[in-house]
Amino acid sequence: MKLFADKGYDATSIEEITATVGVAKGTLYYHFSSKEEIFHFLVEEGMKLLKNSINIKTEKLSNSLDKVRAIVLIQIKILFKYENFMTIILSQIWGNDDRSKLCKKYVFEYIQMIEKIVKEGIAKREIIDKDADVIASGIFGFTCSSFIYKMKHEEVDVQKLFNEIDCLFLKKLKA
């Protein structure tokens, strides 16, 4: 992930990947048939981690706005902890090649997870009755923008950043 994030997909060679992970080329090709397959695996595993983290946390909550808050906090934590993964996803969604389509697919599926919770919240009158897709896309967008905030600051207190986002954006969603 670090190579793809730092150098980009096209500039990363199989030789660099094998040297970085410390395996022979034959061993790598035993598990993956191509660099593209490695990329797909990394993106799929990263998105599974994000979705599973959210499912585990939100299934314990009954209030939809609390679920949205949990999603935002988890997304910020994953943005910061797995910076390379998020760099890959966010850099690859722009375009129409297969990698871009794959990243868009996962981002849109993720936004749909948020949208489903927002729709439940609207139905239960816990979240304002507005366009759920706009709300879900906005949540993803402003949470991703915390990545920019992180780039500007050496040290970031995740809880403090979340509290600011909660105050500025999430509290406005309350019905």
**pLDDT at res. 81:** 85
Is 162 a member of any domain? yes
Is 121 a member of any domain? yes
Q: What angle do CA 138, 55, 114 make, to 5 degrees?
A: 20
Is 49 a member of any domain? yes
Is 124 a member of any domain? yes
> Which residue type is seen at 1?
M
pLDDT band at 16 (very low <50, low <70, confident <90, very high): confident
- What 3-state DSSP class applies to 128? coil
C-alpha atoms less than 13 angstroms from C-alpha of 49 in its C-beta half-sphere: 15
- Supply the DSSP symbol for 129: S
Checking if the pLDDT of 34 tops 90, the result is no
Is 133 a member of any domain? yes
Is 58 a member of any domain? yes
Residues in Cβ contact with 71 at an 8 Å cutoff, skipping those fewer than 6 apart: 54, 57, 58, 113, 114, 117, 139
Rounded to 5 degrees, φ, ψ at 24 are -75, 155
Is 9 a member of any domain? no
Which tens digit of pLDDT belongs to each residue from 105-156? 999 999 999 999 999 999 999 999 999 999 999 999 988 888 888 888 888 8
Domain that holds residue 153: 35-173
Residue 42, domain CATH: 1.10.357.10
Greatest alpha-carbon pair distance for the chain in Å reads 58
Is 130 a member of any domain? yes
Rounded average pLDDT over 85-99: 87
Strand spans (E) along 12-132 = none
pLDDT band at 84 (very low <50, low <70, confident <90, very high): confident
Closest CA to 78 of 102, 47, 120, 41: 47
What is the domain count for the chain? 1
**pLDDT at res. 39:** 86
Closest CA to 29 of 82, 65, 128, 21: 21
User: What is the distance between the alpha carbons of residues 77 and 79, in angstroms, rounded to a whole number?
Assistant: 5
- pTM comes to 0.85
